[in-house]
Amino acid sequence: MRGFTLWFTGMSGAGKTTLSRMVEETLLERGMRVEVLDGDVIRNNLSQGLGFSKKDRDINIRRIGFVCHLLTRNDVVAIAAAISPYREIRSENRNLIKSYVEIFCKCPLDVLKERDPKGLYKKVEKGEIKQFTGIDDPYEEPLDAEIILETDKETVEQSFNKIIRTLELMNYIPPSGIEDEYTEEEEEKIKERLRSLGYI
């Protein structure tokens, strides 16, 4: 199997880590070589010492992109789960990696504040965290993501199935019969999006 990169983007709490781990498990079960680069883990290792200025955020995302490039080139499936707030840097990574699938975990801010699994939004409200993406620092939504997940409306399983089915339609992974779970309308929506992006 050839390598490719799945790039999860979205604000904190949108479901990037949960879904990336589910996809990792499934691809490993199918015998593929997979590596997950989680934004929090990278911050504590590869990008330790970087802050949250635009310059530092850009450096962090470029570093993750470069590692994904190396993994993809060696036929590993690289899964990046990082907020990656700026379109320009995501676009740079897309151009560098080539076999790149962007997954936008879309979720309204009020739902994210309610979920708040790490308590970060509460800290922002108390003024304990500054330059927080989506609050006082921008998050630029993707314009050309291959997969858009509405994680406030879909179950985790629906979002997961949408990812797997799209990868099958793009011929990155072999079919598993998951299409049986979709209505004709849902299947056509996925195909329509891939057609609009020139994949099928």
The pLDDT score that the predictor gives to residue 57 is 94
Catalytic residue among 20, 47, 84, 159: 84
Mean pLDDT of the residues in the chain: 93
Which pLDDT does position 175 carry in this prediction? 84
Contact between 68 and 93 under an 8 Å Cβ cutoff? The reply is yes
Q: Which domain holds residue 151?
A: 4-197
Q: Binding-site residues for ATP, please?
A: 10-17
Residues annotated in the binding site, as ranges?
10-17
CATH at residue 84: 3.40.50.300
Q: What is the pTM of this model?
A: 0.91
Catalytic: 84?
Answer: yes
Counted domains in the chain: 1
How does pLDDT run across 60-85, given as a tens digit for each residue?
999 999 999 999 999 999 999 999 99
Show the tokens assigned to 102: 């962007």
How confident is the model over 154-171, as a mean pLDDT? 94
CA proximity to 97, closest of 186, 172, 182, 181 = 172
Task: Tell me the CA distances in angstroms from 197 to 16, 54, 91, 194, one per residue in order.
Answer: 22, 29, 15, 5
How large is the average pLDDT for residues 168-178?
85
Q: What is the DSSP letter of 118?
A: T
